[in-house]
DNA sequence: AATGCCATGTGAAATGGTTCACAAAACAGT
DNA sequence: ACTGTTTTGTGAACCATTTCACATGGCATT
């Protein structure tokens, strides 16, 4: 019997930071599970991801109450619950556009697969790449993007193309009805309000380190982005 | 004659978000420069990076006053000023550890070079990779890590190794006196207080998208992480 | 059944970040 | 020189997030 832990509160808006920390908790719990822990306290979870126990409890409390006072949280149960909240208790059909440096690396990136993100289509505009095989996937012609995204039932697109063509491709991805895009190009893309766009800017963290070095920061906070 | 725009205020702590936005401003200014703009308003800068004009002005005001009332900011001058704040008005000697999927991609990643991050050393533990040439750099044996990092005067290390060995390598990187590390492994690493560590977790943004899709978020904020 | 202990869940307080709103400054046109 | 227009720079107000602190609930032991 499933006991509803908390009535869903439509009013409360969950912050981006909280969601990012859920990813960290999920990672920590996966490890704890491997280490055969049955339960874990907010204190231990916090220690493992350099957070505070109060933060852990507050984050989880937005979604229900999963712990037992005096005992802590059941590792496996909490892990599953977080997976369900994040929507990674299923598989997502992902297409990757741009089989260059970054793109090729991402096809083989095992973390994606582990979390249910299955790359099932590849696209490029380079005739030498089109038709070639990457990890069992044949690279499609970018000109068939819209059609093939629809046919393959793609729900999520990863963009690893040069900044100059990114907007053009995004427009076509949107036309194909895809509602979630992860962009690696260092450019700010325009999408309609009903499409989720996130950017992964790998230079940004290097720049932060550079800033920290030249300014001799004492704060030193670990970013988990 | 250099006119000090503002007395350095040791009290004020600059937030991480502000620094990340400086990266965005820098990127926008680089483009504006190419488009031959001489000046730019906070309004236009904000529009280009999906921020508010007040935010742009506030961010910049932490570091001085660079604009002219009624006119806006001088594009080239502001760009240089931000580069100086971020510490990317120079080159950094970078080593990359782990020449696998991600590592190989990063060696060829042009954005790093553009911002002054020069990858000058590569390390791996795989005998088949040691000695091989990637973009003109010979891959060194991970066993010589500490010694070669020192010899090469490395200031910053990028870690692209499996999570299981990341801590061991970080310990050696720290021993070599490196004070800034960018970690791609999905694991929380321990470093001394005087070492800056940042994590690049590529699954995190995908998980955020997944969360957004299953929860039908209306907020939809672009993350520039 | 009662006691002691431990760790959650959560309002309230504190802190931190963003937006507002306007005075001040600079330029253009007359 | 004056007027109008524009846009900066910045305290103050507002809003969001984090931390605090403690009542509550559950387990274990006797």
- Each residue's pLDDT tens digit, A166-184: 999 999 999 999 999 999 9
pLDDT for res B222: 40
CB contact under 8 A, A87 and B211: yes
What is the sign of the dihedral through the CA atoms of B13, B93, A105 and B167? negative
Nearest protein residue by Cα to C1' of nucleotide D28: A70
Percent pLDDT > 70 in chain A is: 91
| Chain-centroid distance, C-alpha A189 | 18
Q: What's the average model confidence in pLDDT over B139-162?
A: 98
Taking an 8 Å cut-off on Cβ atoms, the answer to whether A203 and B19 are in contact is no
- pLDDT band of B12, cuts 50, 70, 90: low
| Residue (of A196, A152, A138) closest to A170 by Cα position | A196
The C-alpha atoms of residue A27 and residue B204 are separated, in whole angstroms, by 10
- Work out the average pLDDT over B131-146: 98
Separation CA A167–CA A169 (nearest Å)? 5
Q: Lowest mean pLDDT of A116-120, B43-47, B69-73, B218-222, name the range.
A: B218-222
B72 CB inside 7 Å of strand D = yes
| Closest-CA residue to B25 (of B3, B58, B2) | B58
List domains and CATH numbers for chain B: 16-86 (1.10.10.10), 92-204 (3.40.50.720)
Q: What is the mean pLDDT of chain A?
A: 92
B73 touches strand D (CB under 7 A): yes
Distance B158 CA to C27 C1' (A): 48
Q: What is the percentage of chain A residues whose pLDDT exceeds 90?
A: 90
Average pLDDT, chain B: 92
**Residue-wise pLDDT tens digits, A178-215:** 999 999 999 999 999 999 999 999 999 999 999 999 99
Which pLDDT does position A9 carry in this prediction?
A: 40
pLDDT band, residue A217 (cuts 50/70/90): confident
- Residue B1 above 70 pLDDT? no
CB spacing of A16 vs B223 below 8 angstroms: yes
CA-nearest residue to A103 within chain B is B105
Helix, strand, coil fractions of chain A, as percent rounded to 5: 45, 15, 40
For residue A220, the model assigns a pLDDT of: 41
pLDDT of residue B31: 97
Q: Which of B99, B150, B104, B106 is nearest to B128 (CA)?
A: B99
Instruction: Supply the pLDDT for residue B217.
Output: 75
For A20-44, letters b (16+ CB in 10 Å) and e give bbbbbbbbbbbebeeeeeebbbbeb
pLDDT above 70 for A35: yes
Contact B209 A180 (CB under 8 A): yes
The separation between the first and the last C-alpha atoms of chain B, rounded to the nearest angstrom, is 37
* pLDDT attached to residue B205: 97
* Residue A222 to residue B198, Cβ atoms within 8 A: yes
The DSSP bridge pattern shows strands B39-40 and B73-74 to be antiparallel
pLDDT at B208: 98
The DSSP element (H or E) to which A94 belongs, if any, is: strand A92-97
Residue A135 contacts by C-beta under 8 Å, 6 or more apart in sequence? A107, A108, A119
Per-residue confidence (pLDDT) for residue A223, from 0 to 100: 40
* Contact present, A145 and A123 (Cβ < 8 Å): yes
Percentage of chain B modeled with pLDDT above 90: 90
Average pLDDT on A126-140 reads 97
Judge contact between A142 and A124, C-beta under 8 A. yes
Q: What DSSP element (H or E) covers B156? A: strand B156-159
- In three state form, how does the secondary structure of chain B look? CCCCCCCCCCCCCCCHHHHHHHHHHHHHHHHHHHCCCCEECHHHHHHHCCCCHHHHHHHHHCCCCCCECCCEEEHHHHHHHHHHHHCCCCCEEEEEECCCHHHHHHHCCHHHHHCCEEEEEEEECCCCCCCCEECCEEEEEHHHHHHHHHHCCCCEEEECCCHHHHHHHHHHHHHCCCCEEEECCCCCCCCCCCCEEEECCHHHHHHHHHHHHHHCCCCCCCCCC
DSSP code of B40? Answer: E
pLDDT above 70 for B84:
yes
Strand D contacts (CB < 7 A) among B residues 49-68? 53-54, 57-58, 60-61, 65-68
The secondary structure element, H or E, covering residue A180 is: strand A180-183
More confident residue, B121 or A224: B121
Which nucleotides of chain C does any protein CB come within 7 A of?
Answer: 5-11, 16-21, 24-27
Confidence category of residue B166, pLDDT binned at 50, 70, 90: very high
DSSP three-state, residue B64: coil
Confidence (pLDDT) at B59? 98
Secondary structure letter of residue A143 according to DSSP: G
Residue among A161, A119, A151, A163 nearest A137 (CA): A119
Residue closest to A191 by CA, chosen among A222, A219, A223, A159: A159
Cβ neighbours of residue B126 closer than 8 Å, sequence gap 6 or more = B99
Calculate the angstrom distance between C1' of C17 and CA of B58. Answer: 11
More confident residue, B112 or A4: B112
Task: Please give the radius of gyration of chain A, using alpha carbons only, rounded to the nearest integer.
Answer: 20
CB-nearest partner of B50 from A87, A181, A188? A188
What is the per-residue pLDDT for A13? 87
Footprint of strand C on the protein (CB under 7 A): A 6, 41-43, 53-54, 57-58, 60-61, 65-73; B 13, 15-18, 51-52, 54-55, 57-58, 68-71
**Residue B37: pLDDT above 70?**
yes
pLDDT over threshold 50, residue A105? yes
Q: Pick from A112, A205, A215: which is nearest to B206 by CB?
A: A112
Cβ-contact A133, A107 below 8 angstroms: no
Confidence of residue A218 (pLDDT cuts 50, 70, 90): low
**Residue A61 CB contacts under 8 Å (≥ 6 apart), including other chains:** none
Contact A203, B23 (CB under 8 A): yes
Q: Residue B11 carries which DSSP code?
A: S
CA B95 to chain centre: 14
What are the two backbone dihedrals, phi and then psi, of residue A33, each rounded to the nearest 5 degrees?
A: -65, -45
Which of B207, B203, B202, B224 shows the shortest CA–CA distance to A19? B207
């Amino acid at each position: 019997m499933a006991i509803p832990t908390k009535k869903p509160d439509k009013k409360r808006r969950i912050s981006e930071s909280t969601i990012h920390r859920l990813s960290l908790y999920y990672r920590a719990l996966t490890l704890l599970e491997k280490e055969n822990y049955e339960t874990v306290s907010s204190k231990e979870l916090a220690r493992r991801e350099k957070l505070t126990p109060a933060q852990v409890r507050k984050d989880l409390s937005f979604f229900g109450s999963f712990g037992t006072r005096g005992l802590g949280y059941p590792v496996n149960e909490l892990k599953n619950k977080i997976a369900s909240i994040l929507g990674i208790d299923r598989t997502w059909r992902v297409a990757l556009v741009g089989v260059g440096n970054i793109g090729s690396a991402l096809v083989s990136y095992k973390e994606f697969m582990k979390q249910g993100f299955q790359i099932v289509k590849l696209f490029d505009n380079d005739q030498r790449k089109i038709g070639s095989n990457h990890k069992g996937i044949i690279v499609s012609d970018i000109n068939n993007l819209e059609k093939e995204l629809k046919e393959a039932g793609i729900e999520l697109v990863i963009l690893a193309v040069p900044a100059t063509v990114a907007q053009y491709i995004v427009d076509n991805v949107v036309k194909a009805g895809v509602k979630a895009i992860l962009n690696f190009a260092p450019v700010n893309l325009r999408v309609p309000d009903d499409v989720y766009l996130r950017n992964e800017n790998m230079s940004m963290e290097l720049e932060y380190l550079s800033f920290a070095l030249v300014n001799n920061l004492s704060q030193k906070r670990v970013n988990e982005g």
